[in-house]
Amino acid sequence: MSSLFITFEGLDGSGKSTHLRRAVSWLEERGVPVCQTHEPGGTPLGDAIRRVFLDSQWGQIDGRVEAMLVFASRRQHLLELIEPTLAAGTHVLCDRFTDSSCAYQGSGRGLPADWIDQLDLLATERRRPDVTLYFDLPATSAYERGRSASRWARGDVDRLDDENLAFYERVRHRYLELVAADPERFRVIDSDGDKENTWHQVEAFLEQIFRPPEVTP
């Protein structure tokens, strides 16, 4: 099997990052070569961009500036980490990729889809993941999870966690449009239930994709 580029997408609070870590452990336990990474970030330059991107001290950042930051990080990530890792035969599991920019900067911030497409062309030559797990839940649930007292007490919040419910609604709506436009690539995970229920869906996907080859007698 050639190495796969698999992305995890969803609203903040959808649980995708927790399940990505669990998926990586699941694969490692079975001896499958896998690299875990994330966006914005994934390289030293990308992580520096990430710190700037998420820092609340800037207040409102213009949507175009946000888009240029995430795509700058993404180009470096593709060149320095993602493509060489895939070429070396290791699967890449990435927390967010271009779909996040379509949803957050496109619909969330209201940037026209063709501007995002032009940035995508410049930064990635429209590179698409092989598979995208989209963790779906109603915007209200994500919003409430994002604002949970324990999360704020842990300091586990960033600049975009402060957005309003309407922003979350627009982001989710765009994700659902992306899924409808490319059903072959997307696998929808219902993440509105409890953690174990969500994990079972992820595990079923992993078993289907990484099933050991059948030995013929």
| Residues contributing to the site for ligand TYD (CB under 6 A) | 12, 17, 38-40, 70, 95-96, 100-101, 104-105, 158, 160
CB of 113 to ligand TYD, least distance (A): 14
Nearer to ligand TYD among residue 40 and residue 129 (C-beta): 40
Quote the CA–CA distance of 130 and 74 in Å, as a whole number: 17
CB of 85 to ligand TYD, least distance (A): 18
Q: In the block, which residue shows the tokens 């300091």?
A: 155
Nearer to ligand TYD among residue 55 and residue 207 (C-beta): 55
Give how far Cα 216 sits from Cα of 2, 50, 138, Å: 21, 49, 45
Nearer to ligand TYD among residue 26 and residue 104 (C-beta): 104
Nearer to ligand TYD among residue 83 and residue 158 (C-beta): 158
Nearer to ligand TYD among residue 85 and residue 120 (C-beta): 120
CA atoms within 13 A of residue 108's CA, in its CB half-sphere = 27
Give how far Cα 62 sits from Cα of 68, 96, 99, 107, Å: 10, 20, 19, 14
CB of 26 to ligand TYD, least distance (A): 20
**CB count, 10 Å around CB of 5?**
20
Q: Who's near 160: CB < 8 A, 6+ residues apart? A: 12, 54, 104
CB of 156 to ligand TYD, least distance (A): 8
Nearer to ligand TYD among residue 26 and residue 97 (C-beta): 97
What are the φ and ψ backbone dihedral angles of 140, each rounded to 5 degrees?
A: -65, -40
CB of 31 to ligand TYD, least distance (A): 28
Token pair listed for 57: 């001290």
Give yes or no for a contact between 98 and 12, defined as CB atoms under 8 angstroms apart. no
CB of 21 to ligand TYD, least distance (A): 11
Q: Is 208 helix (H, G, I), strand (E, B) or coil?
A: helix
